[in-house]
Amino acid sequence: MRRASQRQHPDRKRRALAARIGIVRRRLLEWGTTIETQPFFWRDKSAAPFHVLVSEILLARTRAEAVDPVARELLARLPTAEHVATAPVAKLEAILYPLGLHRTRARLLRRCAAVIVAEHGGEIPRSVDILMSLPHVGRYAASSVACVSFGVPAAVLDANVARIYQRIFGLPKPRERISDATWLWDFAARVLPRLKAREYNWALLDLGRLVCKPRVPHCSACPLRSSCSNSGALMRRFVSSS
């Protein structure tokens, strides 16, 4: 009898996890349709894949609200990979100056655009693996571009998303860099719905930006609070410290 019970226990845990994943998907997608967010241009369904890629490169360690106007100006003046690849570095630096690290960003963008032109005929690759082969395009940016521009059901994972999954599912904090945490990427891929992957990823990112913040999360406004492994502890912690 004990052996039978032991065999059933992992099955119950898997079923419970699958049920929680289903709830998280549904509630997050529903919540995503109800919130009012800033209309970042890279979320426009008509945004060119190159424009989405440029925005993702610029978004690294930079707030979306700061990137949006600078990326709009850059791509209005240099709309294609060919334009960026052949633009004078000084021109790129001048446009990117408000973001900081403008010399580095200009060099990275120009190098990436040059490879796109030389090796891909100016077109953005559709697969995550090929996108990751471009200079200065990591797994997050590659997954985002593939999902947003080409409908590939690719999970995105950054510090905000990792924090949400740690809190919701009680996952441990990765010891390695998030980009190297293969087990966490695998988990994110498991949670991602095959349909509406783009909308799910956007809702997930908005949740981390607006609600599930690192220091003072707004648990009472979270659509996932009833499924969160840590919501009670988080709320008690921040109520007692306020």
Query: Which CATH architecture fits 25-35+155-241?
Result: Orthogonal Bundle (1.10)
Question: What is the pLDDT, as a whole number, of residue 45?
Answer: 85
Model confidence pLDDT, tens digit, residues 110-167: 999 999 999 999 999 999 999 999 999 999 999 999 999 999 999 999 999 999 999 9
Domain 41-150 has CATH 1.10.150.20: no
Q: Residue ranges per domain, the chain?
A: 25-35+155-241, 41-150
Q: CB of 192 within 8 A of CB of 200?
A: yes
The DSSP string of 74-101 is HHHHS-SHHHHHHS-HHHHHHHHGGGS-
Distance CA(31)–CA(229), nearest Å, equals: 19
Instruction: Tell me the pTM.
Output: 0.87
CA distance 50 to 199: 20
The C-alpha atoms of residue 71 and residue 91 are separated, in whole angstroms, by 14
